[in-house]
Structure 1
Amino acid sequence: MSRLTEDTLRIANDIIDRYPIRKSALIPLLHLAQEQEGWVTDEAMSHIAEIIGITAAEVLGTCSFYEMFKRQPNGEYQVNICHGISCHLLGAEELIHHAEETLGIREGETTNDGKFSLEGVECIAACTEAPCMQINYRYQNQVSESQFDDLVQQIRDGERSDIPKHGALAKIRQEMSTERIAGFESIDESAEPVWLKRNGEAK
């Protein structure tokens, strides 16, 4: 267990500088701590409390409120399979059972090699793409059992650099084909999020 490393602390300070009130950076810093260790350690929470000027209890209160923050060691790749109503009707339960067989674990467990953790989750707001899932919060849409197996094997073989270990939710943008977005002719996929540009201009 550890506090934030020097490299992580540099990023943390850059994030803090974007906010007029230091404690407003709490949730991004929790994501950062989780990306460092794969889960949010007590030491990291205490360190975050120190650098943004709040109590460790306040950090814990926020960390324990949100499902995406893990308070114990977790797999390098968090597999969340949606079982909301749309996904349920289109085979989510069968997909979860298949995932359990493929990974050799039950829902809520982590593989022995520490590679994958599996959870069934409520709606992840991609109902038109059911059954859908996330791996480290990267969306995978209309997933079949064979596609699930392919994804797992690609990750094991190191072929999915687009899904980093312990991926942070703050870096995610859901992809949607341009023809399904009203009012847009095209999308520059390489462009930074608007909020990031605005924060950069404000510095």
Structure 2
Amino acid sequence: SSIRGAQGILMQTLHEAQDIFGYLPIEVQKFIADELDVPLAEVYGVATFYTQFSIEPKGKHKIGVCLGTACYVKGSQQVLDRLSKELNVKVGGTTADNLFTLEATRCLGCCGLAPVMMIDGDVYGKLEPKKIPEILAEYKK
């Protein structure tokens, strides 16, 4: 039970640190390991295992393109490719100006609007690659 409690405290602490810093740099992981008296390897393991944590800085705007079946069949890969080209970043990467992070996601639950992407919680459906520059321009303001 104490191990489960320690794991819960570690998870909670990592969430709080990520809320503060936007990601979990190694210096923060070391501090957490020292403060909670757990091995750095364990902190790093948890930080890299769970997808809600990031050990790399993320952009101000998070873009998720759905690659679920319905979206994929309707062209979401072309949307993702266009975003990658426009932003000059690979999937999982963040633009040099730290404005955007591009992610591929699984079903966003909007299959009727396929293909779909989400930027900071805003859903864009029935996407065509040619609409991407115009949509991105709204977030560059």
| 2:72 corresponds to 1:79 | no
Map 1:95-114 → 2, pairs under 5 A: 95-114=79-98
Match of 1:153 in 2: 137
One-letter code aligned to 2:51: E
Q: Which runs of 5+ in 2 are unaligned?
A: none
TM-score (norm 2): 0.73
Q: 1:133 to 1:114 in 2, by over 3 A?
A: same
| 2:127 corresponds to 1:144 | yes
* Structure 1 position 140, deviation (Å): 1.6
Q: Which runs of 5+ in 1 are unaligned?
A: 1-20, 158-203
* Structure 1 position 47, deviation (Å): 2.6
* Structure 1 position 125, deviation (Å): 4.5
Query: What SS does structure 1 have at the residue aligned with 2:70?
Result: helix
| 2:115 corresponds to 1:131 | yes
Asked if the contact 2:64–2:105 (Cα under 8 Å) also holds between the matched residues in 1, the reply is: yes
Query: What SS does structure 2 have at the residue aligned with 1:113?
Result: coil
* Structure 1 position 147, deviation (Å): 5.7
Query: What SS does structure 2 have at the residue aligned with 1:32?
Result: helix
Q: Distance in 1 between matches of 2:91 and 2:80?
A: 8
Map 1:16-95 → 2, pairs under 5 A: 21=5, 23-95=7-79
What's the C-alpha RMSD, in Å, of the aligned pairs?
2.9
Q: Between Structure 1 and Structure 2, how many residues are aligned?
A: 137
TM-score (norm 1): 0.54
Q: Distance in 2 between matches of 1:151 and 1:96?
A: 13
Query: What SS does structure 2 have at the residue aligned with 1:118?
Result: strand
* Structure 1 position 72, deviation (Å): 2.4
Q: Which has the higher helix share?
A: 2
